[in-house]
Chains A and B, each alone.
Chain A
Amino acid sequence: MVRHSEFTPSGDARSALAEPEPLGVRGHAMRTAQLSAWYGAQQAIDGISLPIAPNRITAIIGPSGCGKSTFIRCLNRMHEVTPGSPRVNGHVYLDEQEIYAPGVDPVRVRRLIGMVFQKPNPFPAMSIADNVVAGWRLVGGYRQKNLDEVVERCLREAALWDEVKDKLHQSGASLSGGQQQRLCIARALAVEPEVLLMDEPCSALDPVATFKIEDLMLRLKERYTIAIVTHNMQQAARISDYTAFLLAGDDRVGRLVEYGPTSEVFTNPRDRRAEDYITGRFG
């Protein structure tokens, strides 16, 4: 399969929402416009407008509680299934198609925009192998696929194959926290999404596994568009092409304070609060 890694302007990118097309031919762009989200009466993020470039890694950084997880969960319509009366206002576009438009199926949105969560959440009642292909098994219609091949390929991509190849039929819960997280990454890759959202995927990992995941992300961006939340400044600097900095004010509502190419944000931030955070003076 031919895969282009050149930057494609979002305008002429093909629409993933409108019709299924050959997967992975070209990364898809995302963009939010004036995105706000609430839990009940408490607003969590306010008016965030952010581009997420295709075939690039966009890092989202900011102090704890500033709404990074909330923001990233709005990007694949996971916010609306959170307990606690969630609400979203504003726009999220995938290839300039509004994912919150009436008539758009959230199930399809989540299939196209995969997610790895902050806490590893493998299915405890399933074996390791079944966890990897859970997306196919649970949805059905996978008969034409060779699932064993998918298991091996995705576990290799997630740098977990060597550790689990002899116990593929044990429970997913029998792994260490870091291994579970890589299992969750393999599971997200297995359904071949177009965009990958990662919420602090390395917070439970040791430096070696972290390096493997970063390496994986750098390889994946040839095919996918990636957004990653991270608390680790070095990680953002190492792997991301663009960096967005969110910050919550005294009202505990997160706003976008700084966005730009990572090299600029890290060497020459325009906002003083972003500079303070990045240089470690607060946060």
Chain B
Amino acid sequence: MNLLQPDASLRRRQALDRLFVALLVASAASGVVVLLLVLGYVIWRGAPALNPAFFTQRPLPYGEPGGGVAPAILGTLTMLAVASAIGIPIGIGAAVYLSEYGRGSFANVVRFVIDLLAGLPSIVVGVFVWALVVRQLVGNYSGIAGAVALAIIMIPIVTRTVEEILHLVPTTLREASLALGVPRWRTILFVVLPTARAGIITGVVLSLARAGGETAPLLLTALGNQFFSFDLTQPMAALPVQIYNYAVSPYEDWHTKAWGSALVLIGVIGTLSLVTRLAARGRTGR
């Protein structure tokens, strides 16, 4: 008798095996297909709006030919930069606290609050910042209010992803450093964080992408602006707000511009992620 003779059960197993692999490939492919559909449709509708002026000029009133979304691009970048300066250090700091020191009940409270914050609808963040910053602190719609709203949206995303990543850094590495007589804070700064660098970048990129696309809170805080303005205390343009304004208009030409702006927004966020990742990689490749 041949011990290695294939039998019925083997054939069934192989068939099942192929079925499961096919299912996995199908789910992976459907993810890609959805993305390509969205991207393709936006390109198809938005590409006609793109020309050099679209990237360099300010929006013009309806009827005047030309005009672009340059203030919105710059406004989005400005507010994202300010929001990152506020939100990323706080987010990473909170994550380090939770992962490296967070044992007691205070840490559990922080974790709970961060989770609540992550689940908070962004319009609520917008209303809150409107009440606090727009009405009380600055006195009018302003770029800084928009940046604060975006920072509040970024903090929980950064904190949760970075905390998870820091948990993945092996305890043995912390021990190796501590056993060399390295203080705790230096161990975190120079061993734990560099080891988790790739994951931290992912968290930062995710939060940037999410904040870059927020519309509702910006309508209530930064408001939007048809002119070039870098004054953080004044209303500031932003791509999502620009898309919204173009899209709700009754004009066919502006609808095309809305699609074009959407395409630009995808491009801006894609570029940001790419630049962040490349910058992070460049720093270690010595």
- Residues on A lying within 8 angstroms of B by beta carbon are 76, 78, 81-83, 107-108, 110-112, 114-115, 117, 119, 121-125, 134-135, 137-140, 184, 187-188, 191
Which one of B47-55, B188-196, B230-238 is at the interface?
A: B188-196
Contacts of B179 in A (CB 8 A): 76, 78, 110, 114-115, 117, 188
- C-alpha gap A108/B182 in the complex (Å): 9
Q: How many Å from the CB of A198 to the closest CB on chain B?
A: 11
- Report Cα–Cα, A135/B194, bound state, in Å: 16
- Residues in A neighbouring B178, C-beta threshold 8 A: 78, 81, 110
Known A-B contacts A83-B171, A125-B195, A138-B190; A111 and B176 likewise in contact (beta carbons under 8 Å)? no
CA distance A137 to B177 in the complex (A): 11
Q: Which residues of B contact A (CB under 8 A)?
A: 170-184, 186-187, 190-191, 194-195, 197, 284
CB nearest neighbor in B for A108: B181
B195 touches A134 (CB 8 A): no
Determine how close the nearest CB of chain B comes to the CB of A141; give it in whole angstroms: 11
Query: Nearest-CB distance from B96 to chain A (Å)?
Result: 16
18 other contacts beyond A117-B176, A138-B191, with CB at 8 A cut-off?
A76-B179, A78-B175, A81-B175, A110-B178, A111-B180, A111-B181, A121-B176, A123-B173, A123-B176, A123-B195, A125-B197, A134-B180, A138-B187, A138-B190, A139-B182, A139-B183, A139-B186, A140-B186
Tell me, rounded to whole Å, the shortest Cβ–Cβ distance linking A83 to chain B.
6
Residues from chain B with a CB closer than 8 A to the CB of A140 are: 186
* A135-B182 CB under 8 A given contacts A83-B171, A123-B191: yes
Residue of B nearest to A112 (CB): B181
Task: Say whether, besides A138-B187, A138-B190, A117 and B177 are in contact (CB < 8 Å).
Answer: no
15 contacts between A and B (CB under 8 A): A81-B175, A107-B183, A110-B180, A112-B181, A117-B172, A117-B175, A117-B179, A121-B170, A121-B173, A125-B195, A134-B177, A139-B181, A139-B186, A140-B186, A191-B180
Instruction: Give the A-B contact count at a CB cut-off of 8 A.
Output: 73
Q: Shortest 4 CB-CB distances between A and B: which pairs?
A: A111-B181, A135-B180, A121-B172, A115-B179
Chain B residues with Cβ under 8 A from A138's Cβ?
A: 177, 180, 182, 186-187, 190-191
Interface centre among B170, B184, B190 (most CB of A within 10 A): B190
Q: Please, how many angstroms separate the alpha-carbon atoms of A127 and B182 in the complex?
A: 18
The complex places the Cα of A231 from the Cα of B184 at a distance, in Å, of 32
| Interchain CA distance A107-B187 in the complex, whole Å | 11
**Measured between alpha carbons, how far is A122 from B179 in the docked complex, in Å?**
12
Please give the distance in Å from B283's CB to the nearest CB on chain A.
Answer: 12
User: Would B170 and A188 count as touching, CB distance under 8 A?
Assistant: no
Shortest Cβ gap from A186 to chain B (Å): 12
Chain A residues, CB < 8 A from B176 = 117, 121-123, 134, 184, 187
Q: How far is the CB of B146 from chain A (nearest CB, A)?
A: 37
- A191 with B171, Cβ < 8 A, contacts A121-B176, A138-B187, A138-B191 known: no
B194: nearest residue on chain A (CB-CB)? A125
Pair B180/A114 contact, Cβ less than 8 Å? yes
CA distance A107 to B179 in the complex (A): 8
Distance in Å from the Cβ of B122 to the closest Cβ of chain A? Answer: 36
Q: Which residues of B have CB within 8 Å of A110?
A: 178-181
B170 surroundings in chain A (CB, below 8 A): 121
The residue in chain A whose Cβ has the minimal distance to the Cβ of B189 is: A138
- Docked complex Cα distance between A82 and B197 (Å): 24
Within the assembled complex, what's the spacing in Å between the Cα atoms of A110 and B284? 29
Name the A residues within 8 Å of B181 (CB-CB): 107-108, 110-112, 135, 139, 191
B284 touches A81 (CB 8 A): no
Query: How near does chain B come to A113, taking the closest CB pair, in angstroms?
Result: 9
**Shortest beta-carbon distance, A52 to chain B, in Å?**
17
Q: Which residue from chain B places its CB closest to the CB of A138 in the assembled complex?
A: B182
Chain A residues in 8 Å Cβ range of B183: 107, 139
